[in-house]
Every structure is written in C-alpha cells, then in structure tokens.
Amino acid sequence: MHFTCIEALIFFCFGRHRFSVRVLTFTILIHFMSISKLTTDKVKDRVDIVEVIGDYLPLKKKGQNMWACCPFHEEKTPSFSLSPAKQIYKCFGCGKAGDPIQFVMDIEGIGFQEAIRQLAGKYGIEVEEEANLSPEQNLEQSERESLFIAVNFAKEFFVKNLETDEGKAIGLSYFKERGFTPQIIQKFDLGYALDGWDHFLKAAKSAGYQEEILLKAGLILQKEGEAERLYDRFRNRVSFTIHNVSGKAIGFGARILTKDKNQPKYINSPETPIYHKSDVLYGIFQAKKAIRDQDNCFLVEGYTDVVSLHLSGIENVVASSGTSLTDGQIKLIRRFTNQVTVLYDGDPAGIKASLRGIDLLLEGGLNVKAVVFPDGEDPDSYSRKVGSQAFQDYLKENSRDFIGFKISLYQDEIDKDPIRKAGIIREVVQSIGKIPDLIIRSVYAKEASGLLGIEEEILHAELNKILLKNQKEQLERAKEEKAVEDSIEQLLPPLEEANAAGTLLLQEREMLRLLVNYGGQKLDVQELHFCQYILSEIEEVSFQTPLYQKMLQLYRDSVSLGQVPSDELFLSHGDAEIRQEAIAMITQRHEVSTNWKDKFQIFIALESDDLADTAFKSILRLKRRLLQKMMEEAMAKIKEAEQLQLEVEKVSELLELYLELKKVKLKIDKELGIVIG
C-alpha cells in the first residue's frame, strides 16, 4: 500500500484500515498542516494580551501594567505582570514570560500551531493551511491530537445516542425528569452510552480509530488475561462531558440509571495525557466568564448540581466531581476570582467530614463563604423544588462567612460541653491560621471572639502559637532542603570561579538590557544614538555568556545594516530563549508612582534621565568585570607556574601582566567611585 505523508501518519495513529484512512484524511488533515504565515501574522496583529489573559485570570491595573497571581506557580501576592503597551507578560516569581501566543501555549499545554488556531477562532480569523510540516513534526503532535480527536468522537457518539430509540427512552427521559432543557443538554454536551459491551468500540473502529488510542483515552477497557477482549468503559449510563478551560472534551463522567448494587453510581474517565482529574473542575468552561464577571465562584459536589444551577440562572458554578479539593483545582479557581462560596448538602455529619476543603481554600488565599441547604436537600434537588428565583434568594440570604458557618455547625456542642467548646475554639483558630493575609486574619479573629464569647487577646495568643509552630516546621523543612543543597554544592566549581563568572554574566546582561531599552534614543545634539556609542566602546569585546553573545551579535548585525533596532528585534525572534530574555529585560517589577511628581512635587532620578552617564558607567562596569576575570585567570596561571617550578622569567611575566591589569582596574574603580579599603 502507498500512503501520502498525512495518510501514513493517520495509519500510524489509527491502524490498518485502508478505507478508513482515506475517510479520515480530510477530517483530521487540518490538525497536522502548517498554518500559513499570513494567518499567523493576522493573529499577531489582532490579538490583545489583556483580552487573551483576561479570559484566564482576574487582572488589576497598577501603574501602566496589569497584575495577577501567576497561574504557573503557587503564590499569594501577585508577581505576574503584563504590559498592554508592549503586549508581553512576565512573572517575577517563576520567570515565565512571553506574548499572548506563548501564554496560550503554556496555559493550555498546546503547541504553537494549536495556539494560533485557538486565537484565530477567538478573533474570527480564517485559518489558511500549508501542508509543509515534516513527518517528524507530525509524529510529535500525533498522540496528543489523536486523544483529543478520539474523545471528541466519543462525545459526539454519546450525544447522538440520545436520538436513538434506546437513548430517548432511557437517557433523554432521565434528563427531562430532572427538568434539563434541550438547550442545557446541548450546552453541556450531555449524552447516553448504549447498553451493550462494544457499541462505541465498533463505531470507533469503523471510523478508523486504533484500539491503542482508545485505550489511552480511557474510552475502552481490556479484560485481564484476555489480550483480545476489549469492551466499552461506559455502558448503559447517561454521560456528562468534562471539558478543559478552552472547551475541549477531555473525559467523561457517567451515571447509572438502574438500581444495580454491584455497580457504582458514577464512573469517570481515568487519568490520561489530556485529563488530569486533580487539575480539572466540571463546568469551568461554561462558568469562567460568569465567575469573572460576578467575582465569585459557587463550588458544588456533582455534575447534576452544576447543570441544575445553570437552569436556575446561576452560571458561575463548578464541581469538584465528588472528590476532595486539590491544589490544582484551587489554583484553577484563582485564575478567575478570589471569592468562593461552597454549597453544602443538608447533612451536618457530611459537612463536618468535608471541612478540610475550607481550610485548603483558605490556605490557597481564597475568601470563603458557605451555604447549607435544608436537611435532605442538595443544590440540585432544592433548586428543582423551590424554583429559580426562590433558589437565588436562598443563596443570597443564607451565605455566611466561614467563621460564622463553622461555629454554627458546632453550636449545640459549644453550649452543652465546655471542654468540647475549648476544642472547637482551637479548630476555628487553626482555620484562621491558614489565611495568608495578616489583616484578614485579624478581622476573622475579632469576629470569632464575639461569636465564641472569648477574649480577643486569648484568641490571638492561640493564633500566634499556631503560626509560630507552622514557622518552625517551615524552618525545619528549609534546613533539610539546605542540607541537600550543601551536598550538591560540593560538586560545583570553587566559589571564586562562580563569583567571577556570575558577576560577568550580570554585567553582560545589564549592557544588553540598556541596549534593548534605550538603543534608539539620542545622546546629544550630534544625533548620536545610545546604541552607536555603546557598540563603538565595546567593539572588540565578545560576551562570555553564549545567549548574550548571540543577542549582541544580532544587535550588531542590525546596526551594520543601517537600522536602529527596537525590542521587536528580539521579541519576534524565532529562538524562544531570546524572546524570554528580552521580555525579562524590558519588564520592570516596580515603577515610580506619578503621584510623587504630580501631587507632591518629589522628583526621583531615573537611569533614563542622563543616558550618556548611564552608558559611560555601564561600559566601565563591564570592562571592570572583564579585567577582574582576566586577573583571576592570570593569578591561576601564576600559581600553576609556581607549582610546576617553571622558570622565574615566566612567573615574572605573568605577575607583570597581573599588576598592569590591576592598575587599569584601579583607575576604573576610582572613576566609578569604588573605594578599596
């Protein structure tokens, strides 16, 4: 058989189905074709970084930039900055940086092509294809893309099953009983898995999907001990499609409708390369805009709770899908809001067992409220019982902050048993101790004092004990980590070498930072550009750091062509490392408030105020670092010559070189105002 490049790739992914390969070629060709440069340029011109990142994070303006807590690492204080003017972002905590396209790649875990496709869809840009990717590039993308395609096929298969006689009689009937409208069924891609061992498997194989891909996607199972015995994971159940933040189907939850005690009520997709349960919240795709708009996220337990709340007009709701909350899920909520309202079923024992979740939310820097439904009710049942408006009113009237909520759970025990009251006080204080913000901790301590009838000073004393204990534990962990670092440090170069290399690297970086930020500015009336002065002074210098030498050469090449480069020279470069470093160079973590000048007439000197002096001193510092390195190399050769007992003339030559270098360095030190004691 002869295949085209694309057909060969599909053959590799989906197996030996000659006819199916031909059918699939057209339908998935788009996923393995290169997007044209024209389309990429249109996307780059159209995208706005505030709009793109604003879909994922709540942004706050501070100065000229927007700020948020970084979505790529855990933090309580925002260090993630984005510049609307420069269309770039930079995290000063973990170092992540890039443009809107890079952000989508990082946050979604997708490649450049898929990020362009996603942004093109957001901005209504038609995607033009060029089938010029190499087979190797195609194969690199194949598995992940194949899993997405397979899960999407399963989603459509389950949805269409609702139109079959069996689907109408069982699946659709169940949804109608719960009051789910056709619109809500479509909104959440609800469906039905037919009763039988291999309805889905047969349909997927007929469409050309390879069994290996279906297994990896968690859509089928293999019976132990029987290599050929494959069967559907989801059978005779209604299906709830789980989407990622961007709306792609990544897995399923499925509910049984019969009363079979040997079967679990719900089964879910297993962990796969595209579905990590601890990082996913059911309904987040449908809820993210409402969460951001209302600055609050309702957190429930199950799939039907989410769907029912949407029916009641409440869209800012997600579910943990019946599992304990994870750090990944809390981090996902924080992308959109810092406010969470947990909705609890009317089961006091169950609520007490799940209070650990509130502590995790507090520890994650979220402000937490809670609502408890009447005995025997859950969000789904109660919303259907009282209707949309009454349900919304109930949420507003019964929402309590976590302190009042937690104390009310134990009120009977507090009133009847003084010893138990003391224990509950400690539990409440431990929860308050999870809050990272000092002021919020103090506010809650004051409220708890009033509700528990205990002096605020006693609460603060207990709180300080807990905080001190936590600090000691963190210190012990830090000591253990330091011990590991020390053992690794023994394998590193001597401290002197590390210092010499490190200081030179910093000065090379500083020189490039000035070129990137001020290269095009004029120094004097003779129209001399900042970059021309700098480059003329370091004409014979080669940077020791490979990345910085590469960037310096790029700058020199551009100037030699008669151009005065802007930061775009690096920001649009094909090398990701160069782009990242350039962003770090042009992004400032702190900026001086205009109030100092405008309101208080306080003027603060900036490096840009006197670029000639800034350039002169920066050149001197670079030369000083180079001299320092040369002196250390000369001294090392002197010691080596002495150990080898070389002739006196050789040692004398090296010593003379060292002293000459030191003389020049002392002159530079004097010019820079460095006093040597």
Give the pLDDT mean for 47-57. Answer: 86
Contact in structure between 61 and 78 (CB atoms under 8 Å) = no
Using the Cα atoms of residue 656, residue 658, residue 659 and residue 660 in order, give the sign of their dihedral: positive
Residue 379, pLDDT above cutoff 50: yes
Cβ atoms < 10 Å from Cβ of 508: 24
Rounded mean pLDDT, 456-471: 82
Q: Which CATH class is domain 34-130?
A: alpha beta
Q: Please determine, for residue 450, whether its predicted confidence score (pLDDT) is greater than 50.
A: yes
What average pLDDT score do residues 101-123 get? 84
Q: What is the dotted CATH code of the domain comprising 285-462? A: 3.40.1360.10
Q: Which of 384, 322, 321 is nearest to 176 (CA)?
A: 384
Which string of DSSP letters, residue by residue, matches 446-511?
Answer: HHHHHHHT--HHHHHHHHHHHHHHHHHHHHHHHHHHHHHHHHHHTTSPPHHHHHHHHHHHHHHHHH
Specify the pLDDT at position 608.
56
Between residues 323 and 48, the one the model is more confident about: 48
Q: What are the tens digits of pLDDT across the range 264-307?
A: 899 999 999 889 898 899 999 899 888 988 889 999 988 999 99
pLDDT at residue number 498? 42
Looking at residue 525, its pLDDT comes to: 45
* 14-31: pLDDT as tens digits: 443 433 433 344 344 444
Q: Tell me, what DSSP letter sits at residue 351?
A: H
pLDDT tens digits along 496-544: 444 555 567 777 887 788 878 877 777 654 566 777 777 777 777 778 7
Structure-model confidence comparison of residues 582 and 235, the more confident one: 235
Each residue's pLDDT tens digit, 413-425: 787 888 888 888 8
Report the alpha-carbon distance of residue 651 to residue 640 in Å, rounded.
9
As a residue count, the chain comes to 677
pLDDT digits (tens, 9 = 90+) for 114-148: 888 888 888 888 887 765 555 554 554 567 778 98
Comparing 94 with 177, the larger pLDDT belongs to 177
* Bridge partners of residue 65, in order along the sequence: 62
Provide the CATH number for the domain formed by 142-275 in this structure. Answer: 3.90.980.10
pLDDT value at position 640? 75
| pLDDT (0 to 100) of residue 16 | 39
580 and 98 Cβ atoms separated by less than 8 Å: yes
∠ Cα 218 220 226 (to 5°): 120
SS3 for 614?
helix
Mean pLDDT to the nearest integer, 104-112: 81
pLDDT at residue 257 tops 70: yes
pLDDT of residue 99: 87
Q: The dihedral of CA 114, 118, 120, 121: what is its sign?
A: positive
* Residue found by looking up tokens 């490190």 in the block: 502
Task: List the domain boundaries for the chain.
Answer: 34-130, 142-275, 285-462, 496-672
Mean pLDDT is lowest, of 1-10, 189-198, 208-217, 244-253, for 1-10
DSSP letter string over 108-176? HT--HHHHHHHHHHHTTPPPPEE----HHHHHHHHHHHHHHHHHHHHHHHHHHHTTSHHIIIIIIHHHH
* pTM of the predicted model as reported, rounded to 2 decimal places: 0.61
Please list the alpha-helical segments (H only) found in 246-343.
Answer: 284-294, 303-311, 327-334
| Contact criterion met (CB below 8 Å) for 185 and 253 | no
DSSP 80-95: EEEETTTTEEEETTT-
Q: Mean pLDDT across the chain, nearest whole number?
A: 79
| Mean pLDDT of the 436-442 span | 84
**What is the DSSP pairing of strand 249-256 with strand 266-268?**
antiparallel
Q: Is the pLDDT of residue 375 over 60?
A: yes
